Chain A
Amino acid sequence: MASVAYQHVFKRYSAEAVAVKDLNLQILDTEFMVLVGPSGCGKSTALRMLAGLEEISDGEIKIGDRIVNEVPARERDIAMVFQSYALYPHMSVYDNMAFGLKMRRTPKNEIETKVSQASKILGLDNFLKRKPRQLSGGQRQRVALGRAIVRNPQVFLLDEPLSNLDAQLRVETRINLQKLHKDLNATFIYVTHDQVEAMTMGDRIAVMKDGILQQVASPREIYDDPANLYVAGFIGSPKMNFVPVTISGSTAKASGFSMQLPKAPGIEAGVLGIRPEDLTEVPHEGFPQIDMKVEVVEVLGADQFLYGKVGGDDMIARLDPQFKVSIGDRVRLNVNMRRIHLFDVNTERAIL
């Protein structure tokens, strides 16, 4: 087991095409780190540089205390689960799992023990003689995991391992992966574009966009204290409401309301961020009130989402489903002041 460190890492394909820009990221020993971001944000490239499948244009990557820039993939002692699983089609499940051990000249009886252990954990004992094409998608995914587990590597790299599974299997596998991480007590680095996977699995989440690391923090911190406008909008469903405001002193004025900020932010124009669940129909001491004209009502059993307008700005509120609203109503909502966010309109950084 080992820690991983990216130090000022760049990946340039050409002068203009820079996939990863100055990535600095410390991943602790036995941590479950999730790299998340939209496609093309550089998260997979970052992972592949760590795996040794892409050259590092600049900077250093360390596994444990060892700088691995010049170390070929096969000597990095990492295991990787590919999005496509990349199972060797001409080999049986057993041989697929044993391949890495054979390459490392592990004694035969040791290979057998390790493969049978891993296949028990993953429920593959009955499929060891089958070829990958005779397996279902979920089984193939487990073989890919098994191939990584038997190696007992320093670091596990997972590149969108769940994206080829159907929705139900994805949830099951997600939970199994978390258990596996606890049991193996290993360092996991997990790449995904799915914020739910990121939020549920990660000890910490690294949000990336356009090759730049936006924020690294625990899921709770990412959600409660997003570092900038992008992270605030990316994590959370439905999205955080963004309301452009002009500020004078500590008063923020939007198109449909104005409110007192806890302190003077020292900027003139900003974007107010309010999560849908921080709007409530229940009045609170010290919560400013806004009026929303309701355009769409969605009742989802446990939740009720109201889509509407406050002044000229779109707003989504997440309310108790018992609260009866109809389309066209004007609803008075109370803003949870303890949980509002304010972003600088120019730098997009969080101020409050």
Chain B
Amino acid sequence: MSAATADTLPQQRRKPVKVGKVASRGLFFLLVGVILLYILFPFYWAARTSFMPDSDIYLTPVQYWPNNFTFQHYINAFSETTFVRSILNSAIVGISATVIAILVGSSASYALARFNFLGRNVALYLILAMSMFPGISILGSLYTVLQRFHLYNTLYALIIVYLTFSLPLMVWIMQSFFRGMPRDLEEAAYVDGASQFQTFWRIMIPLAAPGLATVGILTVMGCWQEYLFALSFLLSSSKWTVPLAIANTGANQASAFQIPWGDQMAETLVVMLPLIAAVLILQRRIISGLTAGAVKG
């Protein structure tokens, strides 16, 4: 068989290819190139800046590749305790909010997807309506609530506030995910002797893993980069999350009147790495269709 294809392939190639086809392919790749450039340029620019000495950053003509390569900005970033501490804070907030959202959200969305109870649709639309509120419109009232419960300037405040936005997203995505799953599997589990909770935990959750991974990443990212609430509810620099720490880099130093681009870009790249790693680790889960082979051929 391989011999046959080897014989026929070159013949096919020798056929004159139509000009229109070449042009449309060229156009396609041009478009892909433009989009890639548009998306990747800021990353490239941040990376470039982070490896240049401060004196070179403002030089003209612009250096697209650093002439004097340096790690100084990274050393600065990691020697700044506020920044290092902020990574820990962001991790605490992001992971707590995501874990709670997954635990509460997945069970809530399963109930909303599968069980009929009074007020189910009302609950669903209320949840949807909540996620429609722009954050800034409830900033004042959130502040009052957090003050009342003595949560102002604590990481708990951020976890709670982030949950009010991540949970509706979680519930909406996951309930449609659960709805799309074949009911036979749950019925088989019931007949096999599983309780509703066992069915949920041992059958539905493993099957929902791709969906949970997707929403989980979205939640972590949302928490990781959130600025407005962090700025409003955190006061002391020891509580700062990553975006606050980056924005305030160098604020207390002699160079207070100059934006330390190099340090900030280095920090930005550092905080991007865990997210990229998370996406790469989870993407196989996200892509693989786990329900394949459950029902039918």
A and B held together in a complex: yes
Contact A100:B193 (CB < 8 A) given known A84-B296, A135-B293, A164-B297: yes
Q: Is the CB of B191 within 8 A of A74?
A: yes
Q: Is A133 close to B, CB under 8 A? A: yes
A7 to B189, CA, bound (A): 27
Question: What residues on A are CB-neighbors of B198 within 8 Å?
Answer: 103
Q: Is A108 close to B, CB under 8 A? A: no
Q: Which of B187, B206, B297 contacts A137 (CB 8 A)?
A: B297
Contact A88:B185 (CB < 8 A) given known A133-B293, A135-B293, A164-B296: yes
Contact A73:B191 (CB < 8 A) given known A84-B295, A89-B207: yes
Q: Is B294 close to A, CB under 8 A? A: yes
Chain B: residues with Cβ within 8 Å of the partner, total of 25
> Which residues of chain B from 177 to 226 have any CB-CB distance to chain A below 8 Å in the complex?
182, 184-185, 187-195, 198, 202-203, 206-207
Q: Is the CB of A87 within 8 A of B293?
A: yes
Number of A-B contacts (CB under 8 A): 88
Q: Is the CB of A103 within 8 A of B291?
A: no
A350 to B67, CA, bound (A): 101
CB distance from B288 to the nearest CB of A (A): 10
Question: What residues on B are CB-neighbors of A135 within 8 Å?
Answer: 293
Q: Is A99 close to B, CB under 8 A? A: yes
A74 to B294, CA, bound (A): 21
CB distance from B191 to the nearest CB of A (A): 5
Q: Is A64 close to B, CB under 8 A? A: no
Which of A78, A79, A82 counts the most chain B CB atoms within 10 A?
A82
Contact A88:B297 (CB < 8 A) given known A51-B191, A103-B192, A103-B194: no
Q: Is the CB of B293 within 8 A of A74?
A: no
A76 to B192, CA, bound (A): 10
Q: Is A72 close to B, CB under 8 A? A: yes
Q: Which of A72, A89, A131, A134 contacts B190 (CB 8 A)?
A: A72
CB distance from B72 to the nearest CB of A (A): 49
A87 to B191, CA, bound (A): 13
CB distance from B116 to the nearest CB of A (A): 12
CB distance from A230 to the nearest CB of B (A): 30
- B interface footprint on A117-132 (CB within 8 Å = 1, 0 otherwise): 0000000000000011
A218 to B187, CA, bound (A): 31
Find the A residue at minimum CB distance from B203. Answer: A88
Q: Is B132 close to A, CB under 8 A? A: no
Question: What residues on B are CB-neighbors of A103 within 8 Å?
Answer: 192-194, 198
Question: What residues on B are CB-neighbors of A51 within 8 Å?
Answer: 187, 191
CB distance from A30 to the nearest CB of B (A): 20
Contact A86:B190 (CB < 8 A) given known A103-B198, A133-B293: no
Q: Which of B182, B194, B290 contacts A84 (CB 8 A)?
A: B182
Q: Is the CB of A84 within 8 A of B191?
A: no
Question: What residues on A are CB-neighbors of B192 within 8 Å?
Answer: 74, 79, 99-100, 103, 147, 151
Please report B residues at the A interface, Cβ cutoff 8 Å.
182, 184-185, 187-195, 198, 202-203, 206-207, 290-297
Please report A residues at the B interface, Cβ cutoff 8 Å.
51-53, 72-76, 78-80, 82, 84-90, 99-100, 103-104, 131-135, 137, 140, 147, 151, 164
